[in-house]
Amino acid sequence: MTAPRKPLKGVRVLDFSTLLPGPMATLILAEAGAEVIKVERPGSGEDMRHYPPMVTEDAGTNFALLNRGKRSLALDLKDPAAIARVKALVAEAQVVVEQFRPGVMDRLGLGYEALKAINPALVYCSISGFGATGPKALLAAHDLNYMAETGILNLGADSQGQPVLPPVLVADIGAGTMPAVISILLALREAEQTGQGAYLDVAMADNLFAWGYWALGARAAGRPDPVPGGELVTGGSPRYQVYRCADGRWLACAPLESKFWANFCAVIDLPQALRDDAHDPAATMAAVREIVASKPSAAWLSAFDGVDACVTLVKSLGEAAADPHFQQRGLFRGRLPAGDVPLPPLPPPIAPIYRDPDGGQSFPALGEANDVYGEG
């Protein structure tokens, strides 16, 4: 088995982030070879350590999955000696990642300008909900709030206009983690070329707008705001739906293009008069719903086997993780040393050549590296 490539070997990252967006970003950096030093509160560590279910006395599964391959430095950032210690590390670091509310790092004496004076090539990434500036910069919020504030949540409303709770944290990961990693890599490249670092203001709310590009484009072209539950990919088309089968399982059906739609209609034997779904989408949808409900999911999967129609079974997460396709690609190979729990490593969202197939190192005990990184 080929060893994973480590393009960030030699890059030191000081990680002051907690919970999800920052820790997943630095997990990706660590997987790619960076030395990530996680700065935590003495005694309790970061909050995610205590989110159940627990795998050890001081770490839950969330912390274990997001923080493997990092080192832990337990420091009281209100102690001047600890601040001096951090600044000594900054002199030899390439990246700082922080996720406090705007202004907190400045008050601690660890803001960008203070650290830039020590290391002009430093890449300093601040991840926040609404950004470092603006009227909402200090507003307390979570993933759901950012989705609501940017109009993204409304795009997924049902036909009665009630927004549907997203099952995944799009703002945290899609608009926080991923833009942070991309921006850090761009800034590192620039620092290599110019010797100058950068301050990166990564605002999750800002970055969510890209996820609604199609609705923004429609508005710019003069169309009204999307109809809840009535657009092409939000429930208004029979070509992009989930349909219930006779056994209670669901099929995800997305035959958007004409060739896929023709194949789909042929397999389910949809009456010819209803195949032109532009004429009466509701009638076509009702007919498809009735036909799919007449047979169990296994029968439909057999009928669609080998047919290009974009039809798949709605699986549980457990079924998906056990799927031979993902198993063959090695997504859940290996086990993290995590007490008595056989915890598979989280496959970070990077290309396989940079991903450790065995899961890499385990997560750090609180303060385990305090003796490794000397006093300031």
Which sequence positions are flagged as catalytic?
Answer: 142, 172
Q: Which of 174, 186, 37, 15 is nearest to 100 (CA)?
A: 15
* Per-residue tokens: 282: 């509701």
Which segments of the chain are extended strands (E)? 12-15, 35-40, 54-56, 59-60, 71-74, 95-98, 123-128, 198-203, 241-244, 250-253, 311-313
* Per-residue tokens: 100: 């406090």
DSSP states of 316-372: -HHHHHH-HHHHHTTTT-S-B--TT--BPPP--SS-GGGS-TT--S-PPPTTTTTTT
Please state, in angstroms and rounded to a whole number, the distance separating the CA atoms of residues 297 and 32. Answer: 41
Instruction: Determine the number of helices (DSSP H) and then strands (DSSP E) in the chain.
Output: 15, 11
* Sheet hosting strand 241-244, strand order edge to edge: 241-244, 250-253, 311-313
Residue 104 half-sphere exposure toward CB, CA atoms < 13 A: 14
Residue 55 half-sphere exposure toward CB, CA atoms < 13 A: 23
Q: Which residues pair with 38 in a beta bridge?
A: 15, 72
Helices (H), 134-221: 143-149, 152-155, 178-194, 204-208, 213-220
